Structure 1
Amino acid sequence: MKKAELVFIPTTGISHLLSSVEVAKLLVDRDERLSITFLIMKLSSDPKIDRFINSVSKACTRIRFIDLPKDEPDSNEPKMIFFSLIEAQKPHVKDEVSKLVSQSESSPDSPTLSGFVLDMFCTPMIDVANEFGVPSYIFLASGAASLGLQFYVQALHDEQKVDPTEFKGSDAELVMPCLANPLPAKVLPFFMLDKEWLPLFLGLARRFRESKGIIINTFEELESHAIDSFSKVKGNTPPVYPVGPILNLNRDDDHDCDEESDKYKDIKQWLDEQPLSSVVYLCFGSMGSFGAVQVKEIACGLEQSGHRFLWSLRKPPPKGEMELHPSDHTNPRDILPEGFLDRTANIGKIIGWAPQTDILAHPSVGGFVSHCGWNSILESIWFGVPIATWPLYAEQQLNAFMLIVELGLGVEIKMDYRREFNWDGSENVISAGEIERGVRCLMELSDEKREKVKDMSGKSRKALENGGSSCTWLGRFIQDSVDHLP
């Protein structure tokens, strides 16, 4: 039996690493011929990533991790650092893969290099895969509609010579194959409306088309329209493999340090004391933070709603800077309205770091005010918790549109709210009245709509079972990527 090796290259940061490792686990569990090597890029040391990698290495003998040398990115532009880091790592990736190939050639028991699985931002590594004569696959941590939108905008630009940045501020609605409803231009991802960012993302879409296939963290029952559209669109569209929802549900590694373990116990104890489905949970992702004005509006909106709340409140970065992981406030009283904590002591709890999957799984949680990151959406669906949408950046406005208009699985606080990637200290402010309305709509959702969310939750779980849609697609990926080996 010939053994095969896949090389996974995720981007820096915990969120994309988590989901790509979960895909790797599924693959090695499914096929004993497979082993997987992760090549890890780091901008800086991250204890959370190190703990996670150590726990996976101990549990999965056929998944290993190699840290690539740290290189200083060849750019002073914050928005270019990310991409220049990936480009600078190409020689290091080539060196490590050369070692794998040499080992395979010298030992008949060693696995044969079968292909690269690249994070959506790591398309420059296709060049390295081509040098070794193996196929590249893309792992997309976002949804099928997001991929369809990228292909649509790229074709619009390259073939119809339309400049997407002209849609900025317009009331246009775009009809595209991947969506059943016209998409308002106001919910296009910011990078498609920005003249500096647009070329980078058009380049990604072009390179996606060079890949042998695209693994997507979604499932057929959730995005059937978008998934079906790929087989109907003319042009060079690689096959897609919807194998989700890919979730890291066993997050024990998050509680490893004493401080976080104590925080987890405190949060769980508080939730245990609340009535069934009574708590609205507010969290805005690993980069989600607001300035003082918006924080006060959220606090007032929550207080006026009268609903119980658990709010993950994070500290924004210094003016003009960008942080991948905001820190917790030393003393939330400094930024919250005077007396707020005392007035809401019986119905609310302010936290910093949040064990999100544990919170969403708790029976007292009845709603989720979310930034609409794709991982958060999949987690909320898995646990059957409806979402109130408050997107911030990236493709989150599109995700909010998907939830509300395409799927009918959420309510709107805002669908087109956006924050520029590089904060300048200024921010759009959503009023306390809008927040109160959104929270009330979410927590007082009709039984019919809650049942719709629960139904999709059941479908998400069945998709991963033997014979389920995602299980079947995973088998097809293995067949296409491994079974061709001699």
Structure 2
Amino acid sequence: MFCTSMLDVAEGFGVPSYIYFTSGAAFLGFVLRAQELHDQSKELAELAIPTLKHQLPRKVIPSSFLNKEWASVVHTMARDFRKTKGILVNTVKELESYAVDSLSSGENNTPKVYPLGPILNLKAEKSDGSIQWLDQQPESSVVFLCFGSMGAFNAEQVKEIACALEGSGHRFLWSLRRPGQGAWASPTEYEDVSEVLPEGFLDRMREVGRVTGWAPQAAVLAHRSVGGFVSHCGWNSTLESLWFGVPMATWPMYAEQQFNAFLLVEELQVATEVRIDYRTESGEIVSAEEIERGIRSLMEEDCSRKTRMKEFSDQVKGALMDGGSSSCSIVEFFRDVSSAGDV
């Protein structure tokens, strides 16, 4: 999806071009709609998106679309999407049926869409001891906090999270990493994690929690002891949580994660929220009280969200089976490529 400059090369050789879109179908609809509005000299405010049932609040519009320099880049990318023969989307038709149907209507010069997900890497990763710790915990008792490959917080925010976990009384596995030095630098591991935690926290929480650095996320989500996932709402993490049927609490940070959080909480109604509009660049500190409230809602409420998550999990897995929606979409894609240009 970021390599659209290659479309000119393919056209020069008479080769039909397809794009692989790594986010969901609803967000693809937003990208295309935002480009339309820009070309019509209209501002992005709270707006109706064809791939969403609800109006999208401005507070969850990704930052790149609100920044003039970056917006130019993403709008150019969206125009290039329209030049392709089709767009392969990492989603499942049953999960985003409203969005997929909208994109498949043929309106607004949208190429054919192939929902062929979930495309995930679920191979076992080297454990850091977290799985062995989870083996000793009761079923569905642990809340897992993990914020992706770029997710890290400053010391003040770390202390608020720690206080929230202690106050909630729930068992927890917390992937905690040091912020990278410089813009877009990857997080690193703490030599001594106690330096950023409240005094005595590790001793007090020894029996109920584990703080680690990098964690094998897919293996953790697959574990019977995990009952909830506080997530940054990256699309891969979202699909992993759906695959394993683990309820989510949203805490987005950057990219399209605010949009994904809105999708999970308001459209799909499978997640509760810590926040849906948090942005790393804001520097805002989310209070321990707000975090604790989100964790309690995630772990204690027996509600329709958990039932819907289980139903979606079954559908997501079924999509890849023979005759499933994604399996059929892959077959359809190969047939279309074969007939498009004898390649």
TM-score (norm 1): 0.69
2:23 to 112, 135, 142: 142
What is the DSSP-based 3-state SS (H/G/I as helix, E as strand, rest coil) of the residue aligned with 1:476? helix
Q: Displacement, 1:136?
A: 1.4
* 1:277 aligns to 2:144 (yes or no): no
Q: Which residue of 1 aligns with 2:261?
A: 400
Q: Displacement, 1:447?
A: 4.8
What one-letter code is carried by the residue in structure 1 that aligns with 2:329? Answer: W
Identity value in percent: 56
1:228 to 93, 101, 110: 101
What is the DSSP-based 3-state SS (H/G/I as helix, E as strand, rest coil) of the residue aligned with 2:280? coil
**Equivalent residues of 2:249, 2:271 under 8 A apart:** yes
1:441 to 265, 280, 297: 297
Q: Aligned ranges for residues 42-57 of structure 1 at < 5 Å? A: none
What is the DSSP-based 3-state SS (H/G/I as helix, E as strand, rest coil) of the residue aligned with 1:314? coil
Q: Which residue of 2 aligns with 1:311?
A: 174
Task: State the distance in 2 between where 1:429 and 1:194 align.
Answer: 23
Q: Which residue of 2 aligns with 1:326?
A: 187
Q: Displacement, 1:284?
A: 0.3
What is the DSSP-based 3-state SS (H/G/I as helix, E as strand, rest coil) of the residue aligned with 2:249? strand
1:176 to 43, 49, 52: 49
Q: Which residue of 2 aligns with 1:293?
A: 156
**Equivalent residues of 1:177, 1:233 under 8 A apart:** no
Q: Which residue of 1 aligns with 2:121?
A: 248
Q: Displacement, 1:234?
A: 2.5
What is the DSSP-based 3-state SS (H/G/I as helix, E as strand, rest coil) of the residue aligned with 1:402? helix
Task: State the distance in 2 between where 1:352 and 1:246 align.
Answer: 25
Q: Displacement, 1:195?
A: 1.2
Which sits farther off after the overlay, 426-435 or 399-408?
426-435
What is the DSSP-based 3-state SS (H/G/I as helix, E as strand, rest coil) of the residue aligned with 1:281? strand
What one-letter code is carried by the residue in structure 1 that aligns with 2:268? Answer: L
Query: CA offsets per residue over residues 236-276 of structure 1, 9 Å max, x none?
Result: 2100000011111114xx43xxxxx5x1xx11110000000
* 1:163 aligns to 2:43 (yes or no): yes
Task: State the distance in 2 between where 1:441 and 1:467 align.
Answer: 37
What is the DSSP-based 3-state SS (H/G/I as helix, E as strand, rest coil) of the residue aligned with 2:87? strand
Q: Which residue of 2 aligns with 1:14?
A: none
What one-letter code is carried by the residue in structure 1 that aligns with 2:272? Answer: V
Task: State the distance in 1 between where 2:30 and 2:88 align.
Answer: 16
Q: Provide structure 1 residue ranges, at least 5 long, that are not aligned to the other structure.
A: 1-119, 168-172, 256-260, 421-425
Q: Displacement, 1:346?
A: 0.6
Task: State the distance in 2 between where 1:232 and 1:455 align.
Answer: 26
Task: State the distance in 2 between where 1:394 and 1:348 align.
Answer: 30
What one-letter code is carried by the residue in structure 1 that aligns with 2:316? Answer: S
**Equivalent residues of 1:390, 1:417 under 8 A apart:** yes
Q: Provide structure 2 residue ranges, at least 5 long, that are not aligned to the other structure.
A: none
Task: State the distance in 1 between where 2:167 and 2:7 align.
Answer: 53
**Equivalent residues of 2:26, 2:52 under 8 A apart:** yes
Q: Which residue of 1 aligns with 2:230?
A: 369
What one-letter code is carried by the residue in structure 1 that aligns with 2:163? Answer: C
Which protein shows a greater Rg?
A: 1
What is the DSSP-based 3-state SS (H/G/I as helix, E as strand, rest coil) of the residue aligned with 1:337? coil
Q: Which residue of 2 aligns with 1:197?
A: 70
Q: Which has the higher contact order (CA 8 A, sep 6+)?
A: 2
Q: Which residue of 1 aligns with 2:310?
A: 454
Task: State the distance in 1 between where 2:174 and 2:293 align.
Answer: 17
Task: State the distance in 2 between where 1:202 and 1:308 align.
Answer: 44
Task: State the distance in 1 between where 2:326 and 2:334 align.
Answer: 12
Task: State the distance in 2 between where 1:312 and 1:336 align.
Answer: 13
Q: Displacement, 1:339?
A: 0.7
Task: State the distance in 2 between where 1:448 and 1:179 align.
Answer: 21
Which sits farther off after the overlay, 325-334 or 231-240?
231-240
Q: Which residue of 1 aligns with 2:81?
A: 208
Q: Which residue of 2 aligns with 1:468?
A: 324
Q: Aligned ranges for residues 17-28 of structure 1 at < 5 Å? A: none
* 1:481 aligns to 2:343 (yes or no): no
Q: Displacement, 1:135?
A: 1.4
Task: State the distance in 2 between where 1:337 and 1:321 align.
Answer: 27
Q: Which residue of 2 aligns with 1:74?
A: none
What is the DSSP-based 3-state SS (H/G/I as helix, E as strand, rest coil) of the residue aligned with 1:369? strand
Task: State the distance in 2 between where 1:315 and 1:135 align.
Answer: 45
**Equivalent residues of 2:60, 2:259 under 8 A apart:** yes
Which sits farther off after the overlay, 395-404 or 444-453?
444-453
What is the DSSP-based 3-state SS (H/G/I as helix, E as strand, rest coil) of the residue aligned with 1:247? coil
**Cα RMSD between the aligned structures?**
1.3
* 1:154 aligns to 2:35 (yes or no): yes
Query: CA offsets per residue over residues 431-460 of structure 1, 9 Å max, x none?
Result: 000000000000013154322211110010
Task: State the distance in 2 between where 1:478 and 1:149 align.
Answer: 27
Query: CA offsets per residue over residues 411-445 of structure 1, 9 Å max, x none?
Result: 0100011123xxxxx71110000000000000013
Q: Which residue of 1 aligns with 2:270?
A: 409
Q: Displacement, 1:163?
A: 3.4
What is the DSSP-based 3-state SS (H/G/I as helix, E as strand, rest coil) of the residue aligned with 2:108? coil
Question: Segments of 4+ in structure 1 off by > 2 A?
Answer: 231-235
Task: State the distance in 1 between where 2:273 and 2:60 align.
Answer: 13
Q: Displacement, 1:481?
A: 1.0
Q: 1:447 to 1:163 in 2, by over 3 A?
A: closer
**Equivalent residues of 1:369, 1:387 under 8 A apart:** yes
Task: State the distance in 1 between where 2:337 and 2:284 align.
Answer: 46
Q: Displacement, 1:365?
A: 0.1
Q: Which residue of 2 aligns with 1:116?
A: none
**Equivalent residues of 2:104, 2:113 under 8 A apart:** no
